[in-house]
Amino acid sequence: MFKIYPNTRESLRLKASGIFHKYSVPRWMLFTHDITAVFITFLLAYLLRFNLVIQDTTWNEVIVHGLITLAVYTVSMIGFRSYSGLIRHTTLTDVTLVFAAASSATIVLLILILAEDAFNTSRLYRIPMSVVLIHYFLITVYLFVMRLSVKLLFRFTTSSMKINVRKVLIYGAGEMGFVVKRVLMSDPRGDFYVAGFIDDNRMLQGKKINGIQTFGPDILSSPFITKHNIKTLILAIRNFPPVRKGDVIRIAIDNNLEILETPAIEKWLHGHLELKQLQKVKLEDLLGREPIRLDMELIRKGLSKKNILVTGAAGSIGSEIVRQLSRFAVQRIILVNQAETPSFHLENELKRSFSHVKFKIHLADITNSDKMERIFQQYHPDIVFHAAAYKHVPLMEDNPHEALRVNVGGTRTLVELSVKYGVRKFVMISSDKSVNPTNIMGASKRLCEMMIQTKSMMNGISTQFVITRFGNVLGSNGSVIPLFKKQIEEGVPVTVTHPEITRYFMTIPEACQLVLEAGFIGKGGEIFVFDMGKPVKIEDLAKNMIRLSGLEPDRDIKIEYTGLRPGEKLYEEILSCNEEMSSTQHEKIKIAKVEKTDYRKEVLKAIIALKDIYDMSEQQIIELFEELVPEYKLSKENSNGHFLNKISIEEKVG
């Protein structure tokens, strides 16, 4: 007998579990059950009131009184939506709604009884007060017991060990964590089992919430995760400090956990969280950056009622600058971009999300001086954000003519037109590759910086020229992030050029916010350098992306090293050997202290070369860059194409 019992118990569990997985009682059915229970318990209340013998009344009266009670309870239950919760996950909130609905209905019935007594209405409609009170006790107890019984039965079925269950930890034992737990447990597939909550609040640690243990963050360790076979960590905290969030994600990745996060409450469907809305954490969360605090008043004053021109407006940086600008009361935004399809998509986004902003898109090549002059002549922009450029290092190594024509020639056109049409401020987006450049792209950007510095030093120039210099942005077109993502999706090896290669990274919004503030801090002639945090090893980046995809590096997806490409550095820099940094009013924005050098001869030579650019060979273009940008030739000679010296930011801060 006792030997059979465990098998019988497990068999019952499996049968009940199958029912719970197959069926979920819809709300209308629960509502029908509840109002039916109201009527039946009312009849039982009558029988109890008269000791199971009805002598002083008729069944006609009982039925009428029951229908009146049913009508009042129906309205009350609909009003409080006491039937809306999932029975198997009944909570204190659900029980409270049932209590509130029953209590409200009883109060209404008692008021009706008093009113009928006062107006001496027909006995047919006068319900005995004692019956109402007995019924209130019966229906309240029944609805409570029924819901709790179903919940206990569900716990009984889910307490058994399932083969394919996914054990999860929920980081956050607050209101959001509880909501996530309910959503997981209500999944009809039954794939999830909540093994515990994690919370930084010591007051919650060691306690049980709805029967589930709450732990401290120290359980995110290999022994605990292995012992309990944890597969997934779900972040369920509203305002998770970015640095702390980044630390937790890194620990989870190191322990091979799948990491999901809960979207902001305002993004929940119709105010309710659904399982499909749980999303994988973003790669930028690993950076753990605190939100950038902007001087909104400075930017607002600078942009108010201004005509603003953005080149490269449909690119990764340009389009985000446009989005940031749309938050302010600008007069008009003129978007210049050469590529048709990205411009089309940007236009649709602006119409959909920023319909309050006046904007005009122009398909134009910034090297076409006639076209660009027509745009300047038509709009007379007050501010220019110059983000258009060819930026891919390998392509520019193979196409040095285009680096000179577009990056240098396009910048020269915009600079001259800005001076001619009285642009107040010109902000150029440069690159950390312009520092001690070892490639054509970096050399072209450095030559652009020299051109702008020279123009800002000339007498009679009212335009304030500002240069912003930063490194890679996460997810920009053509960066390693989309490439790695595509390789992971296709299941092919992820290609990294060198195991020691590092890069500085920022998110696109971060970079563009700093561009805006730097633009209005600047008075003209400065090169602003952004604090990009610590450099990131590309190998680590690749491994983290693989793990965030739920795969294991070297087991599911291999990493292949392809060797440094021509002109590629192992370590990027943000300052040259001859530059130092000084602080600004913004902690993340520094000024590169550079000698005020007049590069008029170099700029003039570049302009002359632009006129006969295609009469020159590729080698002649490269030699021209070496002549005009001395750091380019020196860096190539010292590094043989691969710059290895690493310069710390802290050492350069003056």
Report, as residue numbers or ranges, the catalytic residues.
Answer: 433
Both tokens of 432, joined, read 């950390």
Alpha helix stretches (DSSP H) within 552-629: 600-611, 618-628
b vs e for 191-218, b when ≥16 Cβ sit within 10 Å of the residue's Cβ?
A: ebbbbbbbbbeeebbeeebeebebbeee
| Contact by Cβ (8 Å): 441, 396 | yes
In angstroms, the CA 503 to CA 481 distance is 12
| Contact by Cβ (8 Å): 139, 37 | yes
In angstroms, the CA 411 to CA 407 distance is 6
Both tokens of 280, joined, read 């994988």
Both tokens of 196, joined, read 């515990």
Alpha helix stretches (DSSP H) within 159-263: 175-185, 222-227, 242-254
Both tokens of 559, joined, read 């990493």
Residue with structure tokens 């009285």? 422
In angstroms, the CA 230 to CA 207 distance is 20
CA distances from residue 137 to 38, 68, 96, 142 in whole angstroms, order as listed: 11, 18, 15, 8
Nearest CA among 28, 117, 135 for reference residue 72: 135
In angstroms, the CA 39 to CA 615 distance is 96
CA distances from residue 385 to 101, 310, 411, 429, 638 in whole angstroms, order as listed: 61, 5, 11, 8, 35
Cα-based angle 300, 304, 308 (whole degrees, multiple of 5): 110
In angstroms, the CA 281 to CA 136 distance is 49
CA 183 to chain centre: 21
- Helix then strand count (H, E) for the chain reads 23, 22
C-alpha radius of gyration, the chain, whole number: 35
| Contact by Cβ (8 Å): 554, 569 | no
In angstroms, the CA 610 to CA 605 distance is 9
Nearest CA among 180, 369, 183, 187 for reference residue 197: 180
In angstroms, the CA 179 to CA 278 distance is 12
In angstroms, the CA 271 to CA 274 distance is 10
Neighbours of 579 (CB within 10 A): 19
Q: Which helix (H) or strand (E) holds 307?
A: strand 307-311
